[in-house]
Amino acid sequence: MKSSPIGLLVAVALGIFPAQSWAQAKAGKVTVAGKAAATKDSEGVIDADASGSATAGGDAAGEAAPAAGDTPADGGEETGDTPAGSGLDDICKIDPAACPNLDMDKEAARPLKEQIFAVQQAYALRVRRFELQAGWSQSLNDQFVGHPAPNLALNYYITNVLAIGVNGQYYAPFNLDKDFNAQVRRAARVAVPLTEYQWGAALNFTYVPAYGKFAGFGDFIFHYDAYVVGGVGAMSVRPIAVIDPDNRNFEYQTKLAFNAGIGLRIFFNKWFAAVLEVRDYVFNDKLESLTASKIPGPGPNGAGNPNTWYGETSLTNNVQAQLGAAIFIPFSFDYRLPK
Amino acid sequence: MTTTKQKTTKRLVSVLAAALALFAFTERAEAQQILLTGPLAGAPAVRKLRQHRKARFEVAPAVSFTLLDEYQRTIFAGARLNYHFTDWLALGAWGAFGAAHIPTHLSDQIQEVNAARRATPGTSRDEELTAGNLGPDFKKQLASMDWVVAPQLTAVPFRGKLALFQSIYLDTDLYFFGGAAFVGLNERKNCENCTNSFEMASRVAIAPTFGLGFSFYINKWSAIGFEYRGMPFAWNTGGFDTAGGGKDKKFPDNKITNDDRQFNFNQVLTVSWNVYLPFQYKVSE
């Protein structure tokens, strides 16, 4: 009877210590070496938690493990049953030239230059991932001709905040000459030069300065980021003949186009997001001439001569609002920094 | 005997009630048992949430800009007033007046052409054909939104935070609103023989209004707001006779009537500075 409380206590103690703890005692050796190596990254960021305590989370241990064999331990708390330094002794026996000769006191006194980011593990890392975007855009600033278009974009994130990529739109079948134009022509006898677009393509840089998270209805949390994008490319455009449609038949011409915009990306998981973007494509548009030649035929000043069809050039803004989806590839990634 | 029967009945009722209770709550109880196994079981998505809106008044001076205008842009100056019953629900109104009306490039072109025609009267067929549509000063016949009052209900389903350049951190929320807009319009007066009649008249258009907005809280009592609003209604923006005759009334009838009012999805972008009263917010558990 008296021994039963002791047995219960032992059972409770066994229950309190999860199985992971026992595994971590062995992994602790790895954690010391591995973390010391893994936390010195290419950006010179040194993790403050390099001591490799036995309570390190599974993720951190997992990240450190592959690097364990490469780098000798240079400090930290040794845990486990194996005597400290036995791994180093083995290395020294095999290859004396590779035997590390470190003054541990000096190394310990060296300033660490610690840097901890406010958010160590952003929800979705973008670095070294491709982003494939597909969506539908609608013009925001042309009250005369609608320019809806399907969009595709491919970006590659060189860093977590900077990407290089390409995008394109296909407008040709979707240009919409609005009834309003005909009404104005009829009511005021004034024609507005109209332009339709065929396609657009651009090389872009994307910078992601802002990210955050939202709690929806106080119940679930989703993450988002905001980006700015800019680039250079081309647009294929032509006037819609409204002044002299009997004689004028315009061909598409490719124009140099610059673009700049902002976007919002809402992540549904770590590789799939909704994208809302507003971007201005600026190009020099050659408008239809407001006067029609009264000389018939394709002569030098004839109505059939394409040189007489064009009027003034105008810097045109094509502001597009895009709604779409983004897929990040590869689908998964490893965090470099601990939580 | 009677006492024994009563006791038996009581026991039977108790057993039945217990059985019913067990059947009624079995699934729920099982689900709860699973939830209770985690350390965050039953915990809210956000603890210690700064409730910037709950039980506070919002006074937001605002500047608004119309989008995709055909003949004339309007810049509104006004304010939004809200009382937030909870952190996610508010009742209030947006009110503004048309502080500036800016003609578009199209209006400038029409004005220019019209002025040239009128400079040489009687020589242009176009002048004759547009006599009922273009007055001596085209810009004076353009319809304008002079004021707007829009009582509205606001819901704030999304609340979050934003990190900017890893150094600036802001609370933010995304809200949706809807209500009715009373819009004071000044547009060309209806007329039968309109060749020399270009008088203007005021009326109030009632339209649905809805939209969404972001708030970025810069301190405990104020925020910067960006809002998009739609106010669809029909009005005669250019003062033209475009409909009322022919098949389906889609052709001009040489009169200015209600048929000449064209449906427009009027859009407004607003920038505001939101001030919350009292100055101190509440914090959730």
Question: What is the pLDDT of chain B when averaged over all its residues?
Answer: 87
pTM equals 0.70
For A213-232, write each residue's pLDDT tens digit.
888 877 788 889 999 999 99
Task: Place B125 in a pLDDT band, splitting at 50, 70 and 90.
Answer: confident
The residue ranges of every structural domain in chain B are: 1-43, 53-283
DSSP symbol at B179: E
For A160-188, write each residue's pLDDT tens digit.
899 999 999 999 999 999 888 988 999 99
* pLDDT for the residue numbered A115: 64
CB atoms within 10 A of CB B165: 8
Least confident of A51-60, A284-293, B88-97: A51-60
- Copy the structure tokens of residue B33: 């048992």
Task: Place A17 in a pLDDT band, splitting at 50, 70 and 90.
Answer: very low
* pLDDT for the residue numbered A219: 77
Least confident of A94-103, A239-248, A292-301, B76-85: A94-103
* pLDDT for the residue numbered B29: 40
Chain B residues lying within 8 Å of A226, measured CB to CB: 162
B17-21 mean pLDDT: 59
| Candidates A188, A220, A224; nearest CB to B133 | A188
Task: Place A59 in a pLDDT band, splitting at 50, 70 and 90.
Answer: very low
| Candidates A187, A209, A220; nearest CB to B45 | A220
Q: B135 to chain A: nearest residue by CA? A: A188
- Residue of B48, B111, B242, B250 to mutate when probing chain A, most A C-beta within 10 A: B242
Chain B nearest CA to A110, separation (Å): 28
| Candidates B46, B160, B242; nearest CB to A183 | B242
| Candidates B159, B160, B242; nearest CB to A187 | B242
E strand or H helix at A109 = helix A104-109
* pLDDT for the residue numbered A82: 44
- Residue of A45, A141, A143 to mutate when probing chain B, most B C-beta within 10 A: A143
Distance CA A190, CA A192 (A): 7
Q: To 5 degrees, how large is the angle CA B246–CA A244–CA A200? A: 100
pLDDT > 80? residue A58 = no
Residue in B126, B260, B261 with CA at minimum distance from that of residue B205? B261
* pLDDT for the residue numbered A121: 67
Least confident of A49-53, A84-88, A91-95, A235-239: A49-53
* pLDDT for the residue numbered B269: 95
ipTM of model: 0.74
Terminal-to-terminal C-alpha distance of chain B: 58
* Percent of the residues in chain A that have a pLDDT greater than 70, as a whole number: 70
CB-based contact, A187 to chain B, within 8 Å? yes
* Percent of the residues in chain A that have a pLDDT greater than 90, as a whole number: 36
* pLDDT for the residue numbered A83: 47
Higher-pLDDT residue of B170 and B210 is B210
* pLDDT for the residue numbered B95: 97
- Copy the structure tokens of residue B130: 């547009």
For B215-269, write each residue's pLDDT tens digit.
999 999 999 999 999 999 999 999 999 888 888 888 888 899 999 999 999 999 9
Question: Backbone phi, then psi, for A163, in 5-degree steps?
Answer: -135, 155
CB-based contact, B252 to chain A, within 8 Å? yes
Determine, for residues A216 and B49 on separate chains, whether the beta-carbon distance falls below 8 Å: no
Q: To 5 degrees, how large is the angle CA A300–CA A301–CA A306? A: 80
- Copy the structure tokens of residue A223: 């993450």
Least confident of A75-89, A260-274, B143-157: A75-89
Task: Place A262 in a pLDDT band, splitting at 50, 70 and 90.
Answer: very high
Distance CA B199, CA B191 (A): 9
CB-based contact, A192 to chain B, within 8 Å? yes
* pLDDT for the residue numbered A69: 34
Question: What is the pLDDT of chain A when averaged over all its residues?
Answer: 76
* pLDDT for the residue numbered A19: 38
Higher-pLDDT residue of B155 and A190 is B155
* pLDDT for the residue numbered B30: 40
**DSSP one-letter string for B89-128:** EEEEEEEEEEEEEEE-HHHHHHHHHHHHHHHSTTS-HHHH
pLDDT > 60? residue B178 = yes
| Candidates A187, A218, A219; nearest CB to B133 | A187
* pLDDT for the residue numbered A28: 38
* pLDDT for the residue numbered A300: 83
Task: Place A37 in a pLDDT band, splitting at 50, 70 and 90.
Answer: very low
Domains in chain A, CATH or no CATH each: 3-109 (no CATH), 130-329 (2.40.160.20)
* pLDDT for the residue numbered A148: 95
Q: What region does B261 belong to: left with phi over 0, alpha with psi -120 to 50, or beta?
A: beta
A36-48 mean pLDDT: 34
Least confident of A15-19, A292-296, B39-43: A15-19
Determine, for residues A218 and B252 on separate chains, whether the beta-carbon distance falls below 8 Å: no
Chain A residues lying within 8 Å of B110, measured CB to CB: 184, 188, 190
Higher-pLDDT residue of B84 and A50 is B84
Determine, for residues B49 and A215 on separate chains, whether the beta-carbon distance falls below 8 Å: yes
Asked whether the beta carbons of A34 and A67 are under 8 A apart, the reply is yes
CB atoms within 10 A of CB B37: 7
User: Out of 1.10.132.20, 2.40.160.20, 1.10.10.10, 3.40.50.2300, which CATH number does the structure's domain B53-283 have?
Assistant: 2.40.160.20
